[in-house]
Structure 1
Amino acid sequence: MASKKHNDHYTDYFGITDKKVPFEDLDVHNDTRLFLDPHLVRLRTSPRPYWDQAVKCLDTFLETLTVRVLSRNEDPGDLLKHIQEPPETHLGMARHGYRGHAASDVIAQRIWESLTTDLYSLFRVGLLEHIEDLPLFVRGIDRDITSDITTRVFFDSLAQFTMSCMRQIPELSSRGTIQIEKTVWDPSHKQWAQRTYTVPKNNDGSGIILIPRGWVRKRLLGSASRFLQTETLTYIQHSRAQYDHRGKLVTPSKKTLRKELAKEPHQANIFYTEAAKRNRQNLIAQFWQYVDERYTEKGPNLGDGLARP
Structure 2
Amino acid sequence: MDFLDVHVDKDNRLYVDPSAIRYAAKAGEPWATSAYRALTDFFDEILRRLKNASRHRDGESMLTEFHEPRETRLGMSKFGYDGSGASREIGERIWAAIKDNPLCLIEVPILKRVEHLPMFVDDLSNDRVSDLTSRIIFDKLVAFTLDQATKHPSITLGEPMEFQVWDTAAGVWSTKTYALPDAGTAKQEPLLLVPKHVVFHSLRMSNRGYWSVPVLGAVQDSQTTIGGNGKPIAPSKESLKDRDDLKDNIRETNQQWTEREWIQRRTNLLERYEEFVDGKFTPLDDDEILNRLGL
Q: Does 1:52 align with 2:33?
A: yes
Q: Does 1:191 align with 2:172?
A: yes
Query: One-letter code of the match for 1:258?
Result: K
Query: One-letter code of the match for 1:104?
Result: S
Distance 1:247 1:164, change over 3 A: closer
Query: One-letter code of the match for 1:277?
Result: W
Q: What is the alpha-carbon distance in structure 1 between the residues aligned to residue 49 and residue 213 of structure 2?
A: 30
Distance 1:23 1:299, change over 3 A: closer
Contact persistence 2:200–2:283 (CA under 8 A)? no
Paired position in structure 2 for 1:157 = 140
Query: One-letter code of the match for 1:154?
Result: I
Residues 1-309 of structure 1: pairs in structure 2 closer than 5 A: 21-45=1-25, 49-72=30-53, 74-75=56-57, 76-117=59-100, 120-125=101-106, 126-173=109-156, 177-202=158-183, 203=185, 204-243=187-226, 249-259=232-242, 260=244, 261-278=246-263, 279-295=265-281, 298-300=282-284
Shift of 1:58: 0.1
Q: What is the alpha-carbon distance in structure 1 between the residues aligned to residue 70 and residue 28 of structure 2?
A: 23
Q: How many residues align?
A: 276
Shift of 1:48: 6.0
Distance 1:266 1:77, change over 3 A: closer
Q: What is the alpha-carbon distance in structure 1 between the residues aligned to residue 227 and residue 2 of structure 2?
A: 59
Distance 1:299 1:163, change over 3 A: closer
TM-score of the superposition, structure 1-length normalised? Answer: 0.82
3-state SS of paired residue (2:280):
helix
Q: What is the alpha-carbon distance in structure 2 between the residues aligned to residue 103 and residue 147 of structure 1?
A: 13
Distance 1:47 1:122, change over 3 A: closer
- With 151-160 and 43-52 compared, the bigger mean Cα shift is at 43-52
The alignment-based identity, stated in percent, is 29
Q: What is the alpha-carbon distance in structure 2 between the residues aligned to residue 94 and residue 179 of structure 1?
A: 27
Please tell me the root mean square deviation across aligned C-alpha atoms, in Å. Answer: 2.2
Contact persistence 1:94–1:101 (CA under 8 A)? yes
Contact persistence 2:67–2:164 (CA under 8 A)? no
- With 161-170 and 232-241 compared, the bigger mean Cα shift is at 161-170
Paired position in structure 2 for 1:15 = none
- More helix per residue: 1 or 2? 2
Structure 1 unaligned regions, length at least 5: 1-20, 304-309
